[in-house]
Structure 1
Amino acid sequence: MNIWFLGTGAGRPSKHRNVTAIALQLPEPSCGWWLFDAGEATQHQLMRTPLKLSKLEAVFVTHLHGDHIYGLPGLLSSRSFDGGISPVQLFGPPGLKRYMETVFEISGTQLDYELQIHEITDDEGFITDNGQVKVEAGQLDHRVPCFGYRITEHDQPGKLLVDKLKELGVEAGPLYGKLKQGESIALPNGTVVRTADVTGPIQAGRVVTVLGDTKPCGNAVKLAKDADLLVHEATFAAGLEEKAHEFGHCTTIDAAETAAKANAKRLVMTHFSGRYGNEDLIRLEEEAAERFTAVTAATDFMMIEIKREQR
């Protein structure tokens, strides 16, 4: 499971970064990817990654400010030209359906695939599960309705210990399949083999939290609880909390404190104001590290592998 930062800026593009878009590559057997927000020119950013539009399975919009959605109609339109024919799920705040339908109607755009639009209510929790991962949403504290998303991968059984199976006399074939599905099997000599006896440690599901624009709030901590990776906006540097909160945003310190309260394993900050160049990112990381040490300031095209723990 990998996460790509396609745009890490706030408000408008700058010389250093594009506006918000984040891609999450799903693990096998899906091998598809999900998109979180699509600011202006997101499809241009995609061209500089190995991600293919035809493999896009779902889009999650945090809120309807332009720097998070102006690139969405063009991207979805281009998917038809890129061979995309499978359905795409689109999730986001109320008004998203009207926005998309209006743009497509006025521009005469027709898609070669089904676009299934789901608007999230204020008290939404669970919103979808594709069999590999489930997604929950919670409302944040911004100037317009805005959501954060918690993506939880289902635990996977440990790998079969083939050498041990051979020692027990279990032949490869249907019996292996039963053990993989968690069923016990009985051998001709009466020995009962349980799955737990012949498999390695359970592969714990990974948790990724992607928050939209927000000032500090309880739902941000709730969505990020024990997350392997928390993506949090840090529009302003430390010391500008009053200005940040006035406009529904956070500082580096705010982001770090949320990560600490949530017991997240890693924090990646994004959505930086245009006043900060890439040369300022080290300072922004150092500010956050005073409250939460496992922190990274994202740059455009940064890719992070989210590794799986075993238990």
Structure 2
Amino acid sequence: MSMRVTFLGTGGAVPTTQRGPSAFLLEREGERLLFDCGEGTQRQMMRFGTGFSLSHLFVTHLHGDHVLGIPGLIQTMDFNDRSEPLAVYGPPGSKGHLTNLIEAGGYRPDFPLTVREVRPGAVALDGDDYEVRTFATEHRNVSSVGYALVEDDRRGRFDREKAEELGVPVGPKFGRLHDGEAVELEDGTVVEPDEVVGDPRPGRRFVYTGDTRPVDATVDVVDAPDLLVHDATFAEEWADRARGTGHSTGREAAEIANRAGARRLALTHISSRYAADASPIEREARGVFDGEAAFVPDDGRKVDVPYPDDE
């Protein structure tokens, strides 16, 4: 099963020719989830070939560089005769503002659309074999949340050699055992699943903070995320500015990643001060967090998220 993140917009509040405002698309088993939707997101989706068939849109907070792409994207979906429903999620107090934004100019889409407020510490979306959790973040003068997509544990590995040693015939009984059902052999022996199936294996875990100061909730929402996408607006030279505006530095993001046990760290919301060269942010983060596992993605970069036991 595949999981891939496309970085549609990795810039800060002021877009540059290199980086658009915040937007990240996660594709998982044919389903597409969009996290934030800054100005121009729909054009980035065209440019980088993600398509528009979203099922859910998660908004971290209401600052313009995270939401101003929503009206255009929804109208384009409508012009393309979309009929599938779309759910939009936002932090406490956001429903009215998001609804007004969607309906700008008196426009209302013809396809079903719902807007839901989600509080920190809740499950925003309970999927078939995953959930999207919310956690509290800390940004300046605004209600904000982060999101963590957490897959259910997978079945343990099936030990075919052991099953055959126990006399289980090759065929349907293998599948029944792997599904957790005991089977009876011709001689009356009962083979239990735990005799031939290993311990459950963890699914994948993706965490996105939106704009935030370093907070404990990012560490606590899930153990050992496979990919943490964290605010890293500034390098340490602007640490005071980061504190004053409710953002993080690359070093601070790396420290959170270490505490969370993250496997990879994507540094985003890059200030326009670093339009020509974001390497100071990346270099400082790599000095704290496992070398090349920390990176500043360019717009359009696609990152596959493998299972923890696949690497």
TM-score (norm 2): 0.89
After superposition, what is the alpha-carbon deviation per residue over 1:45-89, rounded to whole angstroms, capped at 9, x for unaligned?
Answer: 0012332212x1111100000000000122122223345322222
After superposition, what is the alpha-carbon deviation per residue over 1:237-269, rounded to whole angstroms, capped at 9, x for unaligned?
Answer: 112111111010111111111111222221110
CA distance in 1, matches of 2:231, 2:224: 18
Q: Is the alpha carbon distance of 1:291 and 1:196 closer, same or farther for their aligned partners in structure 2, counting shifts above 3 Å?
A: same
CA distance in 2, matches of 1:68, 1:165: 53
SS of 2:88's partner is strand
Residue in 2 aligned with 1:153?
151
Deviates more, 1:74-83 or 1:128-137: 74-83
CA distance in 2, matches of 1:264, 1:120: 25
CA distance in 2, matches of 1:196, 1:225: 26
Residue in 2 aligned with 1:125?
122
Question: Of 79, 82, 87, which aligns to 1:81?
Answer: 79
Residue in 1 aligned with 2:6?
4
Kept in 2, the 8 Å contact 1:220–1:258? The answer is yes
What is the deviation of 1:104? 4.2
Kept in 2, the 8 Å contact 1:40–1:69? The answer is yes
AA of the residue aligned to 1:124: G
Correspondence list, 1:297-308, <5 A: 297-308=296-307
What is the deviation of 1:211? 0.2
SS of 1:275's partner is helix
Q: Is the alpha carbon distance of 1:104 and 1:149 closer, same or farther for their aligned partners in structure 2, counting shifts above 3 Å?
A: closer
CA distance in 1, matches of 2:174, 2:84: 33
TM-score (norm 1): 0.89
CA distance in 2, matches of 1:310, 1:289: 24
What is the deviation of 1:94? 3.2
Q: Is the alpha carbon distance of 1:17 and 1:231 closer, same or farther for their aligned partners in structure 2, counting shifts above 3 Å?
A: same
Percent of aligned positions that are identical? 37
Consecutive unaligned residues of structure 2, counting only runs of 5 or more, are: none
After superposition, what is the alpha-carbon deviation per residue over 1:98-150, rounded to whole angstroms, capped at 9, x for unaligned?
Answer: 123324444343334322221023x4333221022112111211111111112
Kept in 2, the 8 Å contact 1:225–1:262? The answer is yes
Residue in 2 aligned with 1:34?
33
SS of 1:47's partner is helix
Q: Is the alpha carbon distance of 1:80 and 1:189 closer, same or farther for their aligned partners in structure 2, counting shifts above 3 Å?
A: farther
CA distance in 1, matches of 2:79, 2:163: 49
Deviates more, 1:73-82 or 1:159-168: 159-168
Q: CA RMSD in A?
A: 2.3
After superposition, what is the alpha-carbon deviation per residue over 1:262-308, rounded to whole angstroms, capped at 9, x for unaligned?
Answer: 22221110000011125x23332111111112211111011111110
- Number of equivalences: 304
Correspondence list, 1:88-107, <5 A: 88-107=86-105
AA of the residue aligned to 2:154: Q
Deviates more, 1:280-289 or 1:129-138: 280-289
Q: Is the alpha carbon distance of 1:35 and 1:105 closer, same or farther for their aligned partners in structure 2, counting shifts above 3 Å?
A: closer
Correspondence list, 1:246-261, <5 A: 246-261=244-259
SS of 1:240's partner is helix
- Asked if 1:227 is matched to 2:229, the reply is no
Kept in 2, the 8 Å contact 1:73–1:100? The answer is no
What is the deviation of 1:199? 4.2
CA distance in 2, matches of 1:76, 1:184: 50
